[in-house]
Amino acid sequence: MKLFVGLGNPGARYAGNRHNIGYMAVEAIAGAHGFAPWRSRFQGLTSEGRLGSEQVLLLKPETFMNLSGQSVGEAMRFYKIAPADVIVFHDELDLAPGKLRLKQGGGHAGHNGLRSIHSHVGEAYGRVRLGIGHPGHKDAVSAYVLNDFAKADQAWLDDLLRGIADGAEALARGDGAKFQNAVALRMQPPKPEKPKPAERVTPADAAEAQPDPRNALQRLANRFR
């Protein structure tokens, strides 16, 4: 079984916050792939389903961001899930809005949700880093992440979440490149091909295109005139 964790804070007050983009990601996967209804377990909300051949548990910790590791650790112990089979979706200040990066293991870079998970299960789990941009000064970070996405963000946010849902099956089977490609196709769809300009037809071309009414004998005779 794979465990996909979306980080955020519980309750309607925080639902649209930039800090809750992890929640939004797993909700998009659940909705697009027909997962079971959410239910309370492991100090969070869970939903189960399949992504291709993989059984996947989605988890939204409800311990508040700074204690996310309690919920993640409890779910991992219950299902005996190894850190390598855990993927955490979280907001990333150091990426431009709409950018996405994958990471396996490593530090928490000061993210309080990841810091908590590190303390409970170690650092070997995977992450999907979801760019929300930076407010420009560290003193503004708390207010920035705990405020809702702006209306101007809604178009790219919707495309990003749709792309995550499109690529979720590839992510579950470990194909990170295909997952990222699915997201990229939503964020930057292929441009339609421009119609080719009509070819210029000369009178000689037009004449050649007309059917020759002469029979074979007449055509042969004309060659010797």
| H or E element that contains 100 | strand 100-104
Closest listed residue to residue 3, CA positions, set 65, 67, 60, 63:
60
- Fill in the DSSP letter of residue 191: P
Tell me the β-bridge partners of 127. Answer: 88, 103
Reading phi first (left if > 0) and then psi (alpha if -120 to 50, else beta), residue 105 is in left
The reply to whether 19 belongs to the active site is yes
Go through 15-33 and write b for each residue having 16 or more CB atoms within 10 A of its CB, e for each that does not.
eebbbbbbbbbbbbbbeeb
Give the Cα separation of 57 and 193 in Å (integer): 41
Query: 19, 33, 90, 111: which is the annotated catalytic residue?
Result: 19
Give the Cα separation of 137 and 183 in Å (integer): 29
- Catalytic residue numbers read 19
